[in-house]
Amino acid sequence: MAENQSALSERELIVSTVRKFVEKEVIPVASELEHRNEYPHELVRQMQAMGLFGLNIPEEYGGANVDTTTLAMVFEEISRGWLGLAGIIGSNSVMCDVLVHFGADDQKRRYLPSLATGERRGGICLSETNAGTDLQNISTTASRDGDVYRIRGSKMWITNARHGNTFLLLAKTDPAAQPAHRGMSAFIIEKGAPGLTVGRDIDKLGYKSVETCELHFDNFPVPVQDLIGGIEGHGFKQVMTGLESERLNVAARGLGIARAAFEDAIRYAQRRVTFGKPIAEHQTIQIKLADMATRIEASRLLIYSAAEKRDRGERCDLEAGMAKLFATETAAEVSFEAMRILGANGYSKDFAVERYYRDAPLVVIGGGTNELQRLIIARNLLKKYRDDE
């Protein structure tokens, strides 16, 4: 009981600290920086000082080792202020999750301490032009050449590609393997050696300021000791475990967007007067607010339920898929409804609602499209309710 109370107190302290940071430092500058598409160097330095890059890293390596629910709460708070800022630590946390679960002891000692401080800034190199949702279709290869692997190919949609320096890379070490996932391996790679080129910044509708780039590999050398776990052929499973955690942090980001949009809308509705009374007193607006708040609360409970299951060491594909699907669709719906409540002001860059509306599609598409989530949910439901008669 005492341990539970201590964990809850630590969670409350972490979340309240992040909330104050967001309200004092992030919200006042987020829209201005986002409209200029300017990288938030100062905010990132503050997040480093707060230890946010090491939240899911064990204490022995300098991290905070928080549980999944606390991590989700942190992503919700940061995304409430600015989705782009959450993306900077989001990709880093997925990479750390894979390294913590599957990295060799030497790999953990070499990489996790500097990832925890933010000195190393991580990203994940998975998607390619013809392989996003279908990762088994990647064409990037890693060929053994003495003490190194030579990486050939290209990756795209890489968050932190320009300002990051350490990445999780998925490549085929045996392109002829059938099924394809048996020939895939995961590596930790670092910038510095010749053969890695950061391509163009992809111009996006939203999710601005955090860079999203292409990476090109031309015989780029990766030391053999940076093969995650030290064994070829396990990369797909390792990455899928990391993506389970990504679905939950993307769900939490969606919750943060929805909450920000709802809070702006209900505040505006109490101040905006039409026909002699605040629009919050009009039944049409009240129905919108009730639906928005209900979806937000349901999203939160789905996320916490999946997070708690993951913390118990159980598979949560079904629950994480449901949480990601529902919370991100809620972000899209609530941000649009908020814009309608604000009317013309919601369409103006003078208010933050237009930013939420542009950011919301990213969480619907990212972390595995919601179309894919529906297939994952259905597949797991059919296993759970198998009819053997």
- CATH 2.40.110.10 positions along the chain are 123-233
Q: Which fold has domain 123-233?
A: Butyryl-CoA Dehydrogenase, subunit A; domain 2 (2.40.110)
Task: Quickly list H helices, the chain.
Answer: 2-21, 27-36, 41-50, 68-81, 83-102, 105-117, 235-271, 283-311, 317-342, 353-365, 370-384
Task: Identify the CATH number of the domain defined by range 237-384.
Answer: 1.20.140.10
| Residue-level pLDDT, tens digit, the chain, 389 residues | 555 667 678 999 999 999 999 999 999 999 999 999 999 999 999 999 999 999 999 999 999 999 999 999 999 999 999 999 999 999 999 999 999 999 999 999 999 999 999 999 999 999 999 888 789 999 999 999 999 999 999 999 999 999 999 999 999 999 999 999 999 999 999 999 999 999 999 999 999 999 999 999 999 999 999 999 999 999 999 999 888 899 999 999 999 999 999 999 999 999 999 999 999 999 999 999 999 999 999 999 999 999 999 999 998 999 999 999 999 999 999 999 999 999 999 999 999 999 999 999 999 999 889 999 999 999 999 999 998 77
- CATH 1.10.540.10 positions along the chain are 2-121
Question: How many Cβ atoms are within 10 Å of 266's Cβ, its own excluded?
Answer: 17
Prediction pTM value = 0.95
CATH class of the domain whose range is 2-121: mainly alpha
Query: Residue 232 is encoded by which pair of tokens?
Result: 């070829």
In one letter, which amino acid is 3? E
pLDDT of residue 321: 95
- Alpha-carbon separation of residue 340 from 119, 147, 358, 372 (angstroms): 43, 59, 14, 29
- CATH 1.20.140.10 positions along the chain are 237-384
pLDDT of residue 100: 96
Q: Is the peptide bond before 179 cis (omega within 30 degrees of 0)?
A: yes
